[in-house]
Amino acid sequence: MRNEITRLPWFFHHYRSLGVDHFLMVDNGSDDGTFEFLCNQPDVSLWHTDASYRRSRFGLDWLTWLQMRYGHEHWALMVDADEILIYAHHDTRPLPHLTNWLDATGQIAFGALMLDMYPKGPLGTQNYDPKTDPVSTLGWFDDGPYRIKRQKPMDNLWVQGGVRERVFLTDSPDLSPTLNKIPLVRWSRHFTYVNSCHSALPHHLNQAYDGPGGKMPSGVLLHNKFLPDVIEKSKAEKERGQHFHDPLKFQSYYDDIISGPNMWTHQSTKYEDWVQLVDLGLMQAGDWGRI
């Protein structure tokens, strides 16, 4: 992570409440107090580098080594600082309950849709207390449409669509963000993520998620990218040029964010809870929801 001090208080509150008992984190040259904050967390093992995020396969070289060294035979959850994992009954059944059920049913991975949350009103004009749930500020999302297909040769899912495509990439849908992830895996040193945690090898790991409207148990990653600091962060990222795709193709994307658009429309959906997301087909409870 880099410069995520605004998101870390709730991030730790949420994942500790879910039962995560240790965090492996790589700080990539933060200068906003993130590194110092992480140094003071008793359940964090912290690495620091000023090396290029892009040249490290967008952080995967760093994370793959940590997974090989420390994740073998553990259930490992890979999330960004701006992602909050929820799943059916997450408010009453912590992650160890879910992973015990996955073990009992022979499942070694659990997929999720990354759902972009956004405010009502121009970006950057809201107030946010870092100790509170980001949904208190980013209370809205697009419940569709989403495009879904399987890709060869890895059989990985590819989900695109949603609000970022609607607002910023209507004319370039091929550049629309990949929204499927496989964040929770009973890890083996023989596994590797290929593109963040959007896809993995061996390819059977990619079968753990069949996307919105699918039948397999899955969760949602509430994506809080669009908190008020997104304007300044976008200015910095435009300057750094570390975007996963060709950075030059995303200059106008960053410019559009920096302009502070109102992403909300009358078709926007107000977030309620995990039950709502199951009802909308954006995540599935499966048999897990009936035990």
- In this prediction, residues 229-256 reach a mean pLDDT of 77
Q: What is the pLDDT of residue 251?
A: 79
- In this prediction, residues 189-203 reach a mean pLDDT of 95
Residue carrying structure tokens 């605004």: 6
Quote the CA–CA distance of 79 and 26 in Å, as a whole number. Answer: 12
Residue carrying structure tokens 């569709």: 144
Using CA atoms, how far residue 215 sits from 141, 252, 280, in Å, is 22, 37, 13
Q: What is the pLDDT of residue 218?
A: 98
pLDDT band with cut points at 50, 70 and 90 for residue 29: very high
pLDDT band with cut points at 50, 70 and 90 for residue 248: low
Q: Please state, for a pLDDT cut of 70, what percent of the chain lies above it.
A: 97
pLDDT band with cut points at 50, 70 and 90 for residue 285: very high
Looking at per-residue pLDDT, the higher value among 159 and 286 belongs to: 159
Using CA atoms, how far residue 188 sits from 56, 109, 193, in Å, is 21, 11, 11
Query: By CB neighbour count within 10 A (0-12 exposed, 13-18 middle, 19+ buried), where does 217 fall?
Result: buried
Q: What is the pLDDT of residue 242?
A: 56
pLDDT above 70 (res 147): yes
- Pairing state between β 269-270 and 140-141: antiparallel
Q: What is the pLDDT of residue 102?
A: 97
pLDDT above 90 (res 75): yes
Contacts of 288 (CB under 8 A, 6+ apart): 87, 88, 89, 98, 101, 217
Q: Please state, for a pLDDT cut of 90, what percent of the chain lies above it.
A: 87
- Report yes or no: 118 and 263 within 8 Å, Cβ to Cβ: yes
Q: What is the pLDDT of residue 239?
A: 80
For residue 152, give the H/E element and its range. Answer: none
Quote the CA–CA distance of 142 and 161 in Å, as a whole number. Answer: 9
pLDDT band with cut points at 50, 70 and 90 for residue 289: confident
Q: What is the DSSP letter of 32?
A: S
Contacts of 261 (CB under 8 A, 6+ apart): 122, 123, 167
Rounded to two decimals, what is the model's pTM?
0.95
Q: What is the mean pLDDT of the chain?
A: 94
pLDDT band with cut points at 50, 70 and 90 for residue 278: very high
Q: What is the pLDDT of residue 244?
A: 54
Quote the CA–CA distance of 168 and 226 in Å, as a whole number. Answer: 13
Quote the CA–CA distance of 45 and 219 in Å, as a whole number. Answer: 26
Q: Report the range of poorest mean pLDDT among 3-12, 17-26, 69-78, 243-252.
A: 243-252
